[in-house]
Structure 1
Amino acid sequence: MEATISSGPDPILWLATDTCALGPYRADLVETYWRWEQDPALLVGYGRQSPESLEARTEGMNHQLRGENIRFTIYDRTSGKPVPAGVATLLPDHAVRTAEYIVMIDPQARGRGLGTQATRLTLDYAFHITNLRMVWLKVLAPNTPAIRAYERAGFRDAGLLRNAGYWLGQVCDERIMDTLAEEFTGHSLVQP
């Protein structure tokens, strides 16, 4: 499904490469985010068993916009004009300078490396702007495409939660993956 964007000025982009960018989380995109979240593959990947109404999602958006979590709209820039293509979220624990990472990619934008690029940009922001020392995530063990994307972005295995999730109606393990600030290598768009 094509993302719906209001006509007007180009979106604000905080960190960008030629093909991917991160910008602010946007209330005007609540229906677009909601449509992505209802995709059956995403419901399976998150281990959720039921969809959510647009009304409930809109209420949730209002709460999210006031919260302390760091949320980005991911933009696909391959066509030249930035098109919303996902959401990246950091759930920080400021007391210990760590955060859980969650990403959601538009079903039509998957499989082209956008998730890996967005994850690298989010880590760049996390380590060089938010000054986190570690970022971690949970992923269902059967979700091998996501695991490969996280590994390419710099995450590595940190543990296993046995029988903690569901995949296609079956109990499965959840893998814990993490990455440290000192392990963030390669080009940074924040640091010169």
Structure 2
Amino acid sequence: MLWIGTDTCALGPYRADLVETYWRWEQDPALLVGYGRQQPVSLEARTEGIAHQLRGDNIRFTVYDLATGTPVPAGVATLLPDASVRTAEYVVMLASEARGRGLGTSATRLVLDYAFHVTNLRMVWLKVLAPNKAAVRSYEKAGFRAAGALREAGYWLGGVCDEVLMDALASEFIGPSVITA
């Protein structure tokens, strides 16, 4: 089941039956570096965690790659909402084989479209490690803007680095919407 999408990318439900796939993606060393987390987790711990995630208030999507015409799971996108102020933190993770083709930008635009037109959020924000230039460019293409930095808040390849804060506002979200079209 796909909820919203374009010709190349779609968002669908976060699924317990994909826990091993999600876990495999999360163990990719390049992803661990991008998140600034230094340790992998066991499949058993990830399986326990998904049950909690499925019951939680966060908005989670499986990202699907539609390049071949058949939906292929390619990542996870999450909104961590703060209902009292109508904002949310955004987190995205793509499988290594899905990176570098614009899928992250497309998925992020779809999540912002959903956030602003379905859940009525007024702002979505994220943190990204400053040396992760590809991610920063992708977020900018999707509609995020730099909002500041947390100095020396992260690690990149064993070295201390800044975390860039970025935000996207509903009032500034332009471009095509698959929801309002």
For Structure 1 versus Structure 2, the TM-score category normalised by the shorter chain is over 0.9
Q: Secondary structure at the match of 1:115?
A: helix
Distance 1:60 1:145 in 2: 29
Q: Give the letter aligned to residue 6 of structure 2.
A: T
| Other-structure match for 2:127 | 138
| Other-structure match for 2:63 | 74
Structure 1 runs, 4 residues or longer, greater than 4 Å off: none
**Residue 30 of structure 2 corresponds to residue 30 of structure 1:** no
**Residue 98 of structure 2 corresponds to residue 98 of structure 1:** no
TM-score by length of 1: 0.94
Aligned pairs, number: 181
Query: For each residue in 1:86-114, what CA deviation from the matched residue of structure 2 results, as whole angstroms up to 9, or x when unmatched?
Result: 00000000000000000000100100000
Q: Give the letter aligned to residue 82 of structure 2.
A: D
| Other-structure match for 1:57 | 46
Q: Give the letter aligned to residue 126 of structure 2.
A: L
Q: Secondary structure at the match of 1:158?
A: strand
Q: Secondary structure at the match of 2:68?
A: coil
Q: Give the letter aligned to residue 52 of structure 2.
A: H
| Other-structure match for 1:169 | 158
**CA displacement at 1:182 relative to structure 2:** 1.1
Q: Secondary structure at the match of 1:191?
A: coil
Unmatched runs of 5 consecutive residues or more in structure 2:
none
Q: Secondary structure at the match of 1:75?
A: strand
Distance 1:16 1:178 in 2: 22
| Other-structure match for 1:85 | 74
Superposed CA RMSD in Å reads 0.4
| Other-structure match for 1:3 | none
The percent of aligned pairs where both chains have the same amino acid is 77
**CA displacement at 1:134 relative to structure 2:** 0.1
Q: Secondary structure at the match of 1:95?
A: coil
**Residue 33 of structure 2 corresponds to residue 44 of structure 1:** yes
TM-score by length of 2: 0.99
Q: Give the letter aligned to residue 71 of structure 1.
A: R
